[in-house]
Structure 1
Amino acid sequence: CSKPQRPVKDKEGKSITEIQQQRNRWIEYFEELMNRPVPDIEAAHTDLPIYVTPPTIEETKMAISQTKSEISAGPENELAEALTLDIEITKIMLHLQFKKIWGEQRVPMNWKVGQLIKIPKKRGLSKCENYRGITLLSIPGKVFHRVLLSRMNDAVDVQLRDQQAGFRMNRSCTDQIAALWIIVEQSVEWNPSLCINFIDYEKAFDRVDRWTLWKLLRQDCQRYPELIYRTTVQGRSRRTGVGQGCLLSPFLFLLVVDWVMKTSTSEGKRGIQWTAQNQLDDLDFADDLAFVSSTHEQMQIKTASVAAVSASIGLNNNADIDLNDLSYVSILSS
């Protein structure tokens, strides 16, 4: 027999016990989460050296070989092992399909359909907000995404700020922790004023507006936004979010955070002195941001600026976190 549904609460906090009403509540929650108001920003005007020719058979083979065999099956229950079992055969089949897609600028309909799976992420499981939605997508579609990612990644990576370490080659969260640790140690030793503000976005990957992403993609990527299509989740359209479960999601989200921080910190010097000519405003790992400033006033101005720019594209600071006043903190993970 199937596992019974866990009771959830409606917007007013009332428990829902009837199965169909629970399903309707989940549909309502995810439709609101994935269809936020459209912001208005200017398109980027930077040309990048990205190839826009049809994928080669070598690119297709490489993308197949990089596909993990243990990933979850797509909405049609296709398995990654079916593609990786004999790469010499599947590379020919997928290459022909990729060339057709590239020429027609249209993707198969089943690649646009994802199965949304809800996964608990923190306590209070009667609230829809305490779940994360993961989208199971077509496996051949993921291989196609990997071809796109391989082409865009190197050209875009050199444009990203050095402060960003999330989802980038040879950069890690450990490096950011070490850098922040050194900053604090030097501050204690030399006694300069130091303020640190940690920022956590609320449902960051689900709140980014998709048309904003298209504008942030550079002009030389003009063919790519047409191929990074609008996803339909179980027959329902979505306008916001980068689709957790999609291979391109981290890459696309980095473009958003990079634009936010460049826009917010470009006007004034509100960080700490890092080199003789440069200041350091922040250390980032994807959507986890740590702002650093020399004074409380500078920190307030910078935080307000980042919050305003973030809100313009659908990102809001997570205020639903209770913090306790501590006189001593022991950091073991670093």
Structure 2
Amino acid sequence: MKRGFPVVEFVPIDTTSNLLGSPPVISEQDTPINLVYETLALEYGDDGITPEFLKYAGIDDVVLSFINKAFSTEEISESWRALIIVPVPKSGDLRHPDNYRGVSLISLVLGLYNRMLLNRLRPALNPLLRNPQNGFRQRRSTVDQIVAIRRLLKGVTSNNLSCIMTFIDFKKAFDTIHRGKLMSILRAYGVPGKLATAIAATNLQTWAKVRTPDGDTDTFQILAGVLQGDTLAPFLFIVALGYASDASSREGKSN
């Protein structure tokens, strides 16, 4: 029997801040533009807009007008939906496609917009995420988990106890997130409709082509996943992971 979307009761986020649903303002652009320039100096999307252009052209007001239009109309430019996927080798036999990680090059204006959305979403949702989640969170590190495991194992061995550890390898994790369910999760956490819809608009109906040494492939539609290489994607992933963990924990307790 097909199962429905799991319902988990949360204390909703604080929606009293007007920032969550209000149009972006010029001051929200400053830090993201600097980050775009510093971290993506050689990478940009198919629209040809470069980091140098964003930083030095003096078009902050123009860029903000595009961003505000996207936020208010809940629609994004078609050029923002076009991605270039660059295959990055991992390990193993590089003749096998599974041994590559696809990094998406997106429009830098979309990257700027997503960074602004992230800066609004993260402070609101951080208190609701599971405390052990350290990856992709500010002022936290997965090194903390390694230290905790070492201390645990030291205590186990010194007391002559047994310990069972389970590790999960999420294969193609970013690529397999169900986009429709991700938007339902944001609403389940209490993310205001305007902000949730803005995030949905940047993640639905996207198209891509793969950049290869022999040239770009034909364009194809992407139906699932968050975008590797995008600033918002890692946080959306851990939000979905946290919801799934909470849902499974509650289901286990009820059985």
Q: TM-score range by the shorter chain?
A: 0.7 to 0.9
Query: Bigger radius of gyration, 1 or 2?
Result: 1
| Deviation of the 1:184 alpha carbon | 0.3
Q: In 1, Cα distance between the equivalents of 2:244 and 2:68?
A: 35
User: Are 2:205 and 1:240 aligned?
Assistant: no
Partner residue of 1:26?
none
Report the Cα distance in structure 2 between the residues aligned to 1:236 and 1:45, rounded to whole angstroms: 38
> What is the CA distance between 1:260 and its match in structure 2?
2.0
Question: In the superposition, relative to structure 1, how do residues 68 and 266 fare at CA in structure 2: closer, same or farther (>3 Å)?
Answer: farther
**Code of the aligned partner of 1:224:** L
Distance in 1, Cα, partners of 2:192 & 2:220? 27
Q: Deviations over 1:21-48 (max 9, x none)?
A: xxxxxxxxxxxxxxxxx98514666532
Structure 1: distance between partners of 2:3 and 2:56: 45
Aligned match for 2:52, one of 81, 95, 98: 81
Distance 2:208 2:195 in 1: 21
SS of 1:195 mapped into structure 2:
coil
Match of 2:216 in 1: none
Distance 1:79 1:166 in 2: 29
Q: Identify, as 1 or 2, the structure richer in helix.
A: 2
CA contact (8 A) 1:119 1:134 kept: yes
* 1:133-282 alignment runs, 5 A limit: 133-218=102-187, 219-228=190-199, 229=201, 230=204, 231-234=206-209, 235-266=219-250
2:5 to 37, 41, 52: 41
Structure 1 residue runs of 5 or longer lacking an equivalent are 1-37, 270-304, 306-334
Measured at CA, do residues 148 and 43 of structure 1 come closer, stay the same or move farther in structure 2, by a change above 3 Å?
Answer: farther
Q: Which amino acid aligns with 2:207?
A: T
Structure-2 change in CA distance of 1:208 and 1:80 (3 Å) = same
Two-structure CA RMSD over aligned residues (Å): 2.3
Q: Secondary structure at the match of 2:168?
A: strand
- Structure 2 distance, partners of 1:267, 1:105, is 35
Give structure 2 stretches of 5+ with no counterpart. Answer: 210-218
The 1:113–1:40 alpha-carbon spacing in structure 2 relative to 1, beyond 3 Å, is: farther
Taking structure 1 as reference, are residues 267 and 41 closer, same or farther at Cα in structure 2, changes over 3 Å only?
Answer: closer
Q: Secondary structure at the match of 1:158?
A: helix
Q: Does the aligned pair in 1 maintain the 2:67–2:113 contact within 8 Å?
A: yes
Give the direction of change, closer, same or farther, for the CA distance of 1:44–1:187 in structure 2 (3 Å limit): closer
Aligned to 2:64: 95
Higher relative contact order (CA 8 A, sep 6+): 2
Distance 1:108 1:45 in 2: 36
Distance 2:222 2:242 in 1: 23
SS at match of 2:61: helix
Over 3 Å counting, the alpha-carbon distance change for 1:43 and 1:106 in structure 2 is farther
Cα separation, partners in 2 of 1:256 and 1:70, compared to 1, 3 Å: closer
Question: C-alpha separation between the residues in 1 aligned to 2:196 and 2:39?
Answer: 29
Task: Give the TM-score normalised by structure 2.
Answer: 0.83
Q: Contact 2:7 / 2:247 at 8 angstroms: preserved in 1?
A: no
Aligned amino acid, residue 29 of structure 2: T
Identity %: 28
Q: Deviations over 1:32-69 (max 9, x none)?
A: xxxxxx98514666532351010111112332233233
2:8·2:246 contact (CA, 8 Å) conserved in 1?
no
**Alignment match, 2:76:** 107
- CA deviation vs aligned residue, 1:139-179 (integer Å, no higher than 9, x gap): 01100001100000011111001111001111101111001
Aligned length: 231
